[in-house]
Structure 1
């Protein structure tokens, strides 16, 4: 079961959700927790027997009555085998401006490359005070794609957009 929760960061539901998952007899298989702005976002994957998942659904429905918590949950299936995808890490740094993420994601989509994870932020450069943008993408590159050609095309795109970027295999 996939559970997504959004709430003000001062009221993190992580403990309450973890307890309800355990109390229902389910296992917390995966989790992602991020503070974005003044909000906290949780994405949790719970697994268990059908009756344990039903018990968890009931507990989550009760928890969702809290007005400060936005909670969505639904049953999902196992992830497809993606052993034909090679994991690569892409890092981009640039002067901040609109459309950087959209253009990079468009490039990957055109090449049928999946974006597995994305983290991005804006910050002020310590030395100059310039507004900067930084992003890390974990992508899944189909094994049949020629990596050197892909890297050349990607870096050419980044040069055209005045982005500093690297694309390296994930080493763990």
Structure 2
């Protein structure tokens, strides 16, 4: 049988799983075991401890019936372990070769609205934020409250990089942020 562009293969069947719970009771082992036991594979994963909580995002691949088995196992796990668990079916992300991956890092004295202003800038430029990690900390030397953020962004290939970098660094100078913007090198 000939495959059509809209035909779904086994690897096109995906289940996105998001669990939130106390970091002391991380369900990572239980979740990955359920994925394997259902006959699915783990395509992507993100685990982050934020405050006293852990956030786990997993993307499972498998045949539609294996995903149905996994959904049943996840519903039981959520009930038995009293987890905040959400899951739903999704489709693979289409490759987007016209987006250039860049890393942006910002460090400054902590104050409200920094992330909102940077995300707004990228949005206005038609640039997607692919990943974001931010944290607050106390400077070792002075004890000042500091802020750090790392963004991975997708810049459309037709955007003039030097002009974008100039505009971004001008924004950061105006907000008194120390920033860099470099291509992702991997």
1:154 aligned residue: 168
For the residues of structure 2 that align with 1:55 and 1:133, how far apart are their CA atoms? Answer: 43
Q: Are the counterparts in 2 of residues 8 and 68 from structure 1 also a CA contact under 8 Å?
A: no
After TM superposition, which residue ranges in structure 1, 4 or more long, deviate above 6 angstroms? none
For the residues of structure 1 that align with 2:26 and 2:50, how far apart are their CA atoms? Answer: 12
For the residues of structure 2 that align with 1:68 and 1:129, how far apart are their CA atoms? Answer: 39
The runs of 5 or more residues in structure 1 that have no matched partner are: none
1:47 aligned residue: 61
SS of corresponding position for 2:47: strand
Report the CA distance between 1:82 and its aligned residue. 1.0
The runs of 5 or more residues in structure 2 that have no matched partner are: 1-14
For the residues of structure 2 that align with 1:23 and 1:156, how far apart are their CA atoms? Answer: 52
Over the aligned positions, Cα root-mean-square deviation in angstroms equals 0.7
SS of corresponding position for 2:166: helix
For the residues of structure 2 that align with 1:82 and 1:3, how far apart are their CA atoms? Answer: 23
Question: 2:97 matched to 1:83?
Answer: yes
SS of corresponding position for 2:91: coil
SS of corresponding position for 1:167: strand
Count of residues in correspondence between the two structures: 172
For the residues of structure 1 that align with 2:177 and 2:120, how far apart are their CA atoms? Answer: 15
1:74 aligned residue: 88
For the residues of structure 1 that align with 2:115 and 2:81, how far apart are their CA atoms? Answer: 32
Q: What TM-score results when the alignment is normalised by the length of structure 1?
A: 0.99
Per-residue CA deviations over 1:63-115 (Å, capped at 9, x if unaligned) read: 11146410000000010221100000000000000000000000000001000
Per-residue CA deviations over 1:116-148 (Å, capped at 9, x if unaligned) read: 000000000000000000000000000000000
Question: 2:151 matched to 1:137?
Answer: yes
1:24 aligned residue: 38
Question: 2:34 matched to 1:38?
Answer: no
For the residues of structure 1 that align with 2:80 and 2:64, how far apart are their CA atoms? Answer: 26
Q: Are the counterparts in 2 of residues 29 and 46 from structure 1 also a CA contact under 8 Å?
A: yes
Match of 2:70 among 44, 52, 56: 56
